[in-house]
Structure 1
Amino acid sequence: MTQTNQPNGRPLALIVDDEEDLRLLMQMTLSRLGVDCVTAENVQTAKQQLKQHQFQLCLTDLNLPDGNGIELVQYINQQYSQLPVAVISAYGNMDVAISALKAGAFDFVSKPIQQLQLKNLLEHALKSSINPISDLDLQIENQMLLGNSAVIQNLKRTLHKLSRSQAPVYISGESGTGKEVVARLIHQLSNRNEGPFIPVNCGAIPQELMESEFFGHKKGSFTGAQQDKIGLFQAANGGTLFLDEIADLPLAMQVKLLRAIQEKKIRPVGSDQEMSVDTRILSATHKDIEQMVQEGKFRQDLFFRIHVIEVKIPPLRERGEDIILLAEHFLQQICQDWQLDAFQLSSKAKEYLLQGYYEGNVRELRNVMERAVTLCEANIIQVEHIQGLRCQNPAPCSSQQAAQPEAEQDIPPSQSNTLDILAQSDKTALPKEGLEEYLANIEKRLLIQALDSTHWNRTLAAKKLGMSFRSLRYRLKKFELDSDEE
């Protein structure tokens, strides 16, 4: 199963517990799973055994006669960093188990220990101990998380550490920073990468269907349940479940989710039996979840359970030259998707991009590049093609714009940003929704009206709207109106 120094080639585990019966039970269970064991009744004996043997796994109880399991976890992380340590937690002692995970424990199991849970833990631990980050992993990482800035390099180092753990991870960051990208990368670098990665937007699930979506249901359990259905936890079994916008879950669902995460068991709607699930939980939200806890809108116990380890994604404005790297990457993607010749950024356009504030972060930068490709008739992106950025320091942006007055005046009205035209079309209306959504709705409505009036002749519609055919095609793609069915 793994390379060891033992003559029989079997993995070797260290079991640390002051209860002799439990040590014997775990030893017998692991032996049936193909693992040899060495036992210790306290922290001091465990340290001696660590010096004498090369272990592939350590299982330790929390309460020991001469200390506690958390101290042992910290010691092993300092002295034997490649050895995964799992903590055995008594029922109801979840807060201490979470502290152990924060201290660096690989995972935890609750007493009484079930053989299936122990088997799953064993498999992941052995994979973690023998599969360090490879060159292929690093290549995948660099493709998924572009950037050479110090903050991104620090983020990558953090993800390397998290990839060896089973602890829940809470991913925080502004909207558009790439929280799902980071979640996917954690999964890809982990020993669960052969299992499924299941992302779910918690805010997009109707409240009355949430329990069925998460835990599945049995045929006939409610009106419309015409057949058995597996839930998200089952779909992610053996892999990773990413709960995006977890703050949007109602309180009633938060209770059920908490139990599923703690007990690693679920009960499908209409079933009288629970089933074990082996799923790592990653979560994220753009909301201030700590403030929601204080206001009673999010359960504190669930917050502590998903917030074992927090990963903060830096905003784009703090990533320096990464902005240019990402902009050029997006240009290449857009040209491939739209089947266009390659585009380049002028030196002044690069300077202008570096001054951006990017409230929408990486997502906003991608939109800026799409708009620039649409407006640019040649294949060199100039400053005038990316006007409208909100700048961190207004002075450089103002001087940059002032340096280009003739170029800006040369832009034909037909190539101006439609959003700017729309913003002037109804000065008296005060949108109830956000400005971007309000303007997008107007833009989409005008596009559909123009297409309807020309019987969906795109060339005539572009002329009617006073824009290039390329610009129209970009906007149709943006609003998913580019298919014949639409």
Structure 2
Amino acid sequence: MTSHTVLIVDDEPDIRDLLEITLARMGVATLTAPDLTTARQLLSAHQPQLCLTDMNLPDGCGIDLVHWIQQHAPATPVAVITAYGSMETAIEALKAGAFDFVSKPVELARLRELVNSALKLSEPGPQASAEQDEPGLLLGQSPQIRKLRAQTRKLARSQAPVFICGESGSGKELVARMIHLQGPRRDGPFVAVNCGAIPSELMESEFFGHKKGSFTGAVENKDGLFRSADGGTLFLDEVADLPLAMQVKLLRAIQEKAVRPVGDTREIPVDIRVLSATHKNLPKLVQEGGFRQDLFYRINVIELAVPPLRERPEDIEILAEHILQRIADEYECPPASLTPDAVERLKAYDFPGNVRELENILERAFTLCDNDRISAKDLHLGNGAQDAMAGTAGTGNPLPAPPSSLPDGEIDLENYLESIERQAIERALEATRWNKTAAAKRLGISFRALRYRLKKLGME
């Protein structure tokens, strides 16, 4: 690390000495400045790999220096040292573009984590080509998607919490992964959790872990999601679905950077970056009392909007080609292509389900098309349930009775349709002595469609 240099800006000699000694033990060279004026001069002359600045300086404020660095030395990450408990000031600094913050009295372990993380930004890696518009996980050439990629590259250079908003299926988790992969935590874990999928009674254990024997069924120690993401990124998807009681505990864990497992008496430090997302209107939920305002401000330091697919129709063909290639690879079949009328039909469609809906449409069309060409009629837009039953008609076999395991006469449509498909395929295969080509003809579908469905249903 001897090639790294850190600029320390603080008007208190004792603080400067403490930080210099700590960094020297890490093998990092230091420069020091007692005020903003000296700091600007040193930044212009030396281009350090990190700037550590106090908030209160004789000739201005640390946030002033953050703004100056953003304009004149954007390659240098800057971390601010805030007074204890001044979370509002820390959030203001993060919004201004600070990489991270550390509170007084400075915990040296936390400082070392921050410095190590910031110095990774100067190492060769995905973030080094910040000016290049590499698609990565976010495919497309529309102005909206180019802007989104530029935003993810910039946000990857910060540790600020990011709130990703957008409609269902628009790719919020992909955006979170891009931020993670382009930042200094890229070698650490990326842990994604759907907050709406965890039963409320298990949430605390799932997030913070538990000690063996702390409750019935706790037969061994469990780390929990926060500790699993230590050194990396925790992505909280559908964060609006968290119950209020859990929101309080989540806020404390984020602010204190520590968790207390269920049944434990001690807090365990965690080093994570929190990214969150929802398709719901979170500000409206805050106004209605369904989401805590203090937690909203804590996770919404920076807001990033993901555009819906209907606002970038020029990206649809690129996405479709990628999806069809992936489907072909997965099912070991030749890739299908879209006819011009299919492309136009997709571009004219509204896509309420966004990219996830496009994937479903193409997956279905892939099984129905002839000669590896998907036409507009193969897309069957808007007829999902009807299309799911296509290929089972005309076999001469009665449909199985709907499952009666659900209450009040409800049926599990997905499992019901799957059982129809499974039985029809089994009967066709038995009737043709497991000749797949003949069975496909008997079912009125292509050989590729049968092969796809056998793999999907686990019948190979």
1:348 corresponds to 2:338: no
With normalisation by structure 2, the TM-score equals 0.86
1:69 corresponds to 2:37: no
Matches within 5 A, 1:180-191: 180-191=173-184
Please tell me the root mean square deviation across aligned C-alpha atoms, in Å: 3.0
Measured against aligned partners, the alpha-carbon deviations of 1:169-219 in whole angstroms (never above 9, x if no partner) come to: 111111111111111111111111111111111111111111111111122
Matching residue within 353, 358, 362 for 2:351: 358
Matches within 5 A, 1:233-244: 233-244=226-237
Q: Which amino acid aligns with 1:468?
A: I
Matches within 5 A, 1:275-354: 275-354=268-347
Retained in 2: the 8 A contact 1:141–1:185? no
Retained in 2: the 8 A contact 1:356–1:389? no
Retained in 1: the 8 A contact 2:130–2:153? no
Q: What is the rounded CA distance, in whole Å, between the counterparts of 1:36 and 1:447 in structure 2?
A: 64
Measured against aligned partners, the alpha-carbon deviations of 1:200-247 in whole angstroms (never above 9, x if no partner) come to: 111111111111111111222222222211111111111111111111
Q: What is the rounded CA distance, in whole Å, between the counterparts of 1:63 and 1:316 in structure 2?
A: 46
Measured against aligned partners, the alpha-carbon deviations of 1:63-90 in whole angstroms (never above 9, x if no partner) come to: 2232211111000111111111001122
Equivalent position of 1:468 in the other structure: 445
Retained in 1: the 8 A contact 2:2–2:27? no
1:169 corresponds to 2:162: yes
Measured against aligned partners, the alpha-carbon deviations of 1:247-300 in whole angstroms (never above 9, x if no partner) come to: 111111111111111121112222222221111111111111111111111111
With normalisation by structure 1, the TM-score equals 0.82
Matches within 5 A, 1:33-182: 33-131=26-124, 133=126, 141-182=134-175
Matches within 5 A, 1:411-450: 417-418=387-388, 441-442=412-413, 444-449=415-420
Q: What is the rounded CA distance, in whole Å, between the counterparts of 1:192 and 1:273 in structure 2?
A: 26
Matches within 5 A, 1:157-236: 157-236=150-229
Equivalent position of 1:271 in the other structure: 264
Q: What is the rounded CA distance, in whole Å, between the counterparts of 1:14 and 1:117 in structure 2?
A: 18
Q: Which amino acid aligns with 2:387?
A: N
Q: 1:271 to 1:483 in 2, by over 3 A?
A: farther
Equivalent position of 1:15 in the other structure: 8
Q: 1:418 to 1:81 in 2, by over 3 A?
A: closer
Equivalent position of 2:397 in the other structure: none
Residue 100 of structure 1, CA deviation: 0.6
3-state SS in 2 of match to 1:377: coil
Q: What is the rounded CA distance, in whole Å, between the counterparts of 1:105 and 1:134 in structure 2?
A: 17
Residue 138 of structure 1, CA deviation: 9.4
Q: Which amino acid aligns with 2:311?
A: E
Residue 2 of structure 1, CA deviation: 5.4
Q: Which amino acid aligns with 2:82?
A: S
Q: 1:84 to 1:450 in 2, by over 3 A?
A: closer
Equivalent position of 1:372 in the other structure: 365
Q: What 5-or-longer segments of structure 2 have no aligned partner?
A: 393-409, 432-438
Measured against aligned partners, the alpha-carbon deviations of 1:10-51 in whole angstroms (never above 9, x if no partner) come to: x32222223333222222222222223333332223223323
Retained in 2: the 8 A contact 1:357–1:389? no
Residue 464 of structure 1, CA deviation: 13
Q: 1:330 to 1:202 in 2, by over 3 A?
A: same
Q: What is the rounded CA distance, in whole Å, between the counterparts of 1:455 and 1:348 in structure 2?
A: 31
Q: What is the rounded CA distance, in whole Å, between the counterparts of 2:177 and 2:261 in structure 1?
A: 27
Retained in 2: the 8 A contact 1:63–1:69? yes
Q: Which amino acid aligns with 1:223?
A: T
% of aligned pairs identical? 54
Q: Which amino acid aligns with 1:445?
A: Y
Residue 98 of structure 1, CA deviation: 0.7
Q: What is the rounded CA distance, in whole Å, between the counterparts of 1:277 and 1:252 in structure 2?
A: 21
Q: Which amino acid aligns with 1:186?
A: I
Q: 1:281 to 1:450 in 2, by over 3 A?
A: closer
Q: Which amino acid aligns with 1:289?
A: L
Retained in 1: the 8 A contact 2:121–2:127? no
3-state SS in 2 of match to 1:260: helix
3-state SS in 1 of match to 2:135: helix
Retained in 1: the 8 A contact 2:6–2:52? yes
Q: What is the rounded CA distance, in whole Å, between the counterparts of 1:443 and 1:152 in structure 2?
A: 34
Q: What is the rounded CA distance, in whole Å, between the counterparts of 2:42 and 2:267 in structure 1?
A: 38
Q: What is the rounded CA distance, in whole Å, between the counterparts of 1:458 and 1:184 in structure 2?
A: 43
Retained in 2: the 8 A contact 1:451–1:458? no
Measured against aligned partners, the alpha-carbon deviations of 1:282-330 in whole angstroms (never above 9, x if no partner) come to: 1111111111111111111111111111111111112132101111221
Equivalent position of 2:401 in the other structure: none
Q: 1:51 to 1:57 in 2, by over 3 A?
A: same
Q: What is the rounded CA distance, in whole Å, between the counterparts of 2:298 and 2:170 in structure 1?
A: 24
Residue 168 of structure 1, CA deviation: 1.1
Q: Which amino acid aligns with 1:448?
A: S
Q: Which amino acid aligns with 2:204?
A: E
Q: Which amino acid aligns with 1:482?
A: G
How many residue pairs align between the two structures?
Answer: 434
Q: Which moved more, 1:233-242 or 1:464-473?
A: 464-473
Q: What is the rounded CA distance, in whole Å, between the counterparts of 1:308 and 1:76 in structure 2?
A: 19
